[in-house]
Amino acid sequence: MARHEARRANILDRIELVEGDFVRRAGEIDAADIVTLDRVVCCYPDADSLVGLSAARARRLYGLVLPRDGLLVKLGLWLINAGFHFRRSAYRTYAHSNSKVDQLAAANGLHILSERRTFFWRIVVFDRPAGSDPA
């Protein structure tokens, strides 16, 4: 779908689409001006690796959409996981600590630029101050 949309917007030649487990392939992936993880953090068990490695590759902006901290959200994810369990699916969702995610981004030189919340989701954009290129 991403390839189709990039072709439709006539920007396919300006982006690189990489398939696979990002954490396993991170060493092959160059830094980018903008890195986004839209509802990805909650699908990955190791937020430290996922957020740490992806934040390190954001030259200018880093955007995340992840579940908010909170009892109702955690209950909702637990119910979703119970459904996966009963259907014998190995897939699980994760409620990673928002403050831990922020700390991982900050450890990579990123600062919160904008933040919005819905009932379930937290949408946050981090920026990298000018002159502080990723390591």
Q: Which domains does the chain have, with CATH numbers?
A: 33-127 (3.40.50.150)
Q: How confident is the model at residue 133 (pLDDT cuts 50, 70, 90)?
A: low
Q: What residue has token string 């990002």?
A: 22
Q: How confident is the model at residue 135 (pLDDT cuts 50, 70, 90)?
A: low
Identify residue 17 by its one-letter amino acid code: L
pLDDT in tens, 40-85: 999 999 999 999 999 999 999 999 999 999 999 999 999 999 999 9
Are 58 and 29 a contacting pair, CB within 8 Å? Answer: no
pTM over 0.85: yes
Q: At what angle do helices 47-56 and 98-107 cross, to 10 degrees?
A: 40
Neighbours of 41 (CB within 10 A): 21
Q: What is the largest CA-CA distance in the chain?
A: 51
DSSP structure class, residue 91: -
> Percent of the chain beyond pLDDT 70?
98
pLDDT of residue 119: 94
Q: Where are the beta strands (DSSP E) in the chain?
A: 32-38, 58-67, 111-117, 121-127
* Buried-state track 20-34, b at ≥16 Cβ within 10 A, e below 16: eebeeebeeeeebee
User: In 3-state terms, what secondary structure has residue 42?
Assistant: helix
